[in-house]
Structure 1
Amino acid sequence: MSFDDLFAQHVASAMARQVALADLIGERNWSVDLSAGYATFGDDLRFAIQLLGTESHRDSTWLWAWANAESNLPPALLHLGGWLRDYGEQAGVAELTERSFPLERADGAKLALVASGLTGRPYYRGPYEGGALFFHLEGVPETPVAPERVITVLSQVIQTWPLPHRTVAGSFLTQQGWTLDESGGRMSARHPDGSTIEITFDEQGRIAQFGGQIKPR
């Protein structure tokens, strides 16, 4: 499987998770205590972390945390990264197994979104002088994407990245518990609460129109 395929399958659910995290954190300042293994947001939020890696803006490269031997990172914060590396080896996804590579190939946000899709955990990007640290947050409440938010998430994703729309939509809706029925250039989806979404694709497989009915809450 290619990294681009994996990204298309998981980006929408991961983006929805990031939107929910942003709603939770708001404008709080952040800090990380690597020795304790926690990230703190403001005065009232604290979550255990697992390190993903770092972006260097000096040479425009990504470095996985498990490969950052010079920083003597606590091994307890590298378990999730090791799991992702093992997954990459089994699935043949080089970006999850190579210790470092140029950001033009895959930047921290794309890597963290794939990791979020695979693990069900949101990530945080902590900027610092010369780069940024990416880490997963443990224990953040996970809630399914509300039906009324599905189209917003899909629209945001397809406007941000050039991706196969049918793969993105089908994967996202399935992951969120919708039942799909595909026929030709249409995709119909039904949510357990009775909400429906109709997606029409053009000849190039791009989303041309949304329809359906969302049940009021």
Structure 2
Amino acid sequence: MSDSLTFANLLDDAALLSLEHQLHLEEVLADHNWNVDLQRRHFEFATPGRTIVCTRFHLLGSAAPGPGSWLWAWANPSGFPEELTEASARLRDFGQQYGIPELASAEVPFRALPGSPSEPHLAAGLITEAAKAVTGGWTSYNGDAGGGTRAAFLVEHPDFQLPPPEPARVMRVIQQALTGLLLTDHRRALSSYAAKRGLGATFDRDHARLTGPGFEAMIEFDEYGRVAGIKASLSGG
């Protein structure tokens, strides 16, 4: 990690790979219910065909509409098992090391987050995205905890792991991220995704070239460093 790091940098670093994991999670779960017992350390999804019991999960924290703030799990007075809150404590330590108040502060007002979200699920989503870039846990679940409060988790199961990169999926992720996510630095977001997904990537001032199994994408940047156009082609091999 760079010595100079911001919350916005973390959002860019996580954006595309996180999106791909969440799209995959939606496909795995489809229609589902979820249930968690924090004291028993048990988290499961019930789908029409089967029950998926997470091999491991981490409680990051909760976003509540009353105070309009996010509360990290390590700071919650409810006394959750340390095994479930240790990831949030590592994020606190990381935030203190790099001077990132959104990670280091016990409670974070919604208005202090990018875009000043007013809805708990949006605030929880932003915090969770940054957490993924630090922890390397890429699948998350944001669930209704009652009273409008949203609880955010990182969840693990073999079925949640991504399959190898596939051209149509990679291009969908890139296009959806660029049009629908809050990105500050398009180059950084694309470079991070390429590195984490094992894609080839070269960048110059005005262009980027991404390559992977069976595809090539040429990306053009405008004078502000934003993606201005994408041309993708399939290739043999």
Which segments of 5 or more consecutive residues in structure 1 lack a partner in the other structure? Answer: none
Contact persistence 1:148–1:214 (CA under 8 A): no
Alignment of 1:132-147 (within 5 A): 132-140=150-158, 141-143=160-162, 144-147=164-167
1:125 aligns with 2:145: no
Corresponding residue for 2:70? 62
The CA deviation at 1:212 is 2.7
Structure 2 CA distance for aligned equivalents of residues 145 and 91 of structure 1: 32
1:156 aligns with 2:176: yes
Structure 2 CA distance for aligned equivalents of residues 122 and 91 of structure 1: 24
SS at match of 1:78: helix
1:202 aligns with 2:225: no
Structure 2 CA distance for aligned equivalents of residues 150 and 17 of structure 1: 12
SS at match of 1:121: coil
What TM-score do you get using the length of structure 2 for normalisation? Answer: 0.83
Corresponding residue for 1:18? 22
Structure 2 CA distance for aligned equivalents of residues 215 and 51 of structure 1: 42
Corresponding residue for 1:167? 188
Contact persistence 1:62–1:100 (CA under 8 A): yes
Change (3 A) 1:215 1:31: farther
1:97 aligns with 2:104: yes
Contact persistence 1:28–1:41 (CA under 8 A): yes
Alignment of 1:98-117 (within 5 A): 98-106=105-113, 107-117=123-133
SS at match of 1:9: helix
SS at match of 1:27: coil
The CA deviation at 1:194 is 4.6
Structure 2 CA distance for aligned equivalents of residues 135 and 212 of structure 1: 35
Change (3 A) 1:96 1:195: same
Query: Equivalent pairs: percent with the same residue?
Result: 27
Corresponding residue for 1:29? 33
Corresponding residue for 2:120? none
Structure 2 CA distance for aligned equivalents of residues 72 and 65 of structure 1: 9
Q: Deviations over 1:76-96 (max 9, x none)?
A: 211111222222222322211
Change (3 A) 1:121 1:165: closer
Aligned-pair Cα RMSD in Å = 1.9
Q: Which amino acid aligns with 2:43?
A: A
Contact persistence 2:62–2:150 (CA under 8 A): yes
Aligned residues: 215
Structure 1 CA distance for aligned equivalents of residues 108 and 94 of structure 2: 18
SS at match of 2:154: strand
